[in-house]
Homo-oligomer: A and B are copies of this chain.
Amino acid sequence: MNSQEMRHPPLQFAQWTHAMQSRIEQVLNEAMPASTETPETLHQAMRYAVLGGGKRVRALLAYAAGEFCGANVVEVDLSAAAVELIHAFSLVHDDMPCMDDDDLRRGKTSTHKQFGDATALLAGDALQSLAFELASSEQCAIGAPQKVKILHCLAFATGSRGMAGGQSIDLESTGILLSQGQLAQMHALKTGALMHAAAMMGAYTAQDTDTKKLEAVESFAKAIGLAFQVVDDILDAEADTATLGKTAGKDAEQDKSTYVTLLGLATAKSLAQSLYQQALASLDDYKQEADMLRGLANFITQRQF
């Protein structure tokens, strides 16, 4: 029995996912200021935006990549929480009237509809700060050089050369027909950058990860980040609002280029499959230490919501 097996009993992927989703919920719950702490409304809005919802795909990516590189799950906790906070903040701001103006998120009223625009704006801002606060805190049980790497990776992925940049391109391209290359570039930033960061943060958590493993995570994360968006576009075109937990059909309504509008449904589905195979191929040289990453690739590309 090697150290990998000792640290992590051979749970099935579904059990692991369930355990990690409960775990991140608890980590986030404890890491966030109580809703009774002043300023109460702001803290209530922050908790509302973060807790009790979402598939936690980014946290799962961080945990699975950490596992793959030999990190202890406790060491990954605050990086996983940080990346979920960044994701939650982006959703809060994205739903605001001046952006996508969406009233529904994760099956409930979106934050600005619940708390007003000003509080939603501040809650998003404060969630971003909290992400960096957690990843740099003394409670984050890893060395300073690893923390700095993780913080830099997360900050880069969040900013204008990552997620915010992708959202900006998205805004500007509404009503314009993008090429597949342009669409891929936009999504590589808008969705891919943070998923990539999630996986890399997990990998950086482990000490002395060799370059080959880091490259495997990198290549895996790029394929799966893009696959996630292709599947999102397919689901938006196919699903109804109840299943999706957010307003369905908005892309077409807002005249946005998607993989479905660009390639048609059948070709978009083939693309998702081929990206899935690409993600798996990145892990070809690895055995069971990569099982959770493989499971995640399947989870992300085969999801129905």
Contacts and interface: CB of A to CB of B under 8 A. Distances in A.
A50 to B, nearest CB: 12
A225 to B, nearest CB: 18
B133 A159 contact: yes
Give the interface residue-count category, chain A.
35 or more
A169 B39 contact: yes
A165 interface: yes
Interface stretch (A124-132, A203-211, A294-302): A124-132
Q: Most B CB atoms within 10 A — which of A33, A41, A161? A: A161
Given A148-B136, A155-B133, A161 B33 contact: yes
19 contacts: A33-B160, A39-B169, A39-B172, A41-B168, A41-B172, A42-B165, A43-B160, A93-B121, A98-B117, A99-B121, A119-B171, A121-B121, A125-B164, A126-B160, A128-B128, A129-B158, A130-B160, A133-B159, A137-B152
Interface of A: 33, 38-39, 41-43, 46, 89-90, 93, 96, 98-99, 116-119, 121-122, 124-126, 128-130, 132-133, 136-137, 143-145, 147-148, 151-152, 154-156, 158-162, 164-165, 167-169, 171-172
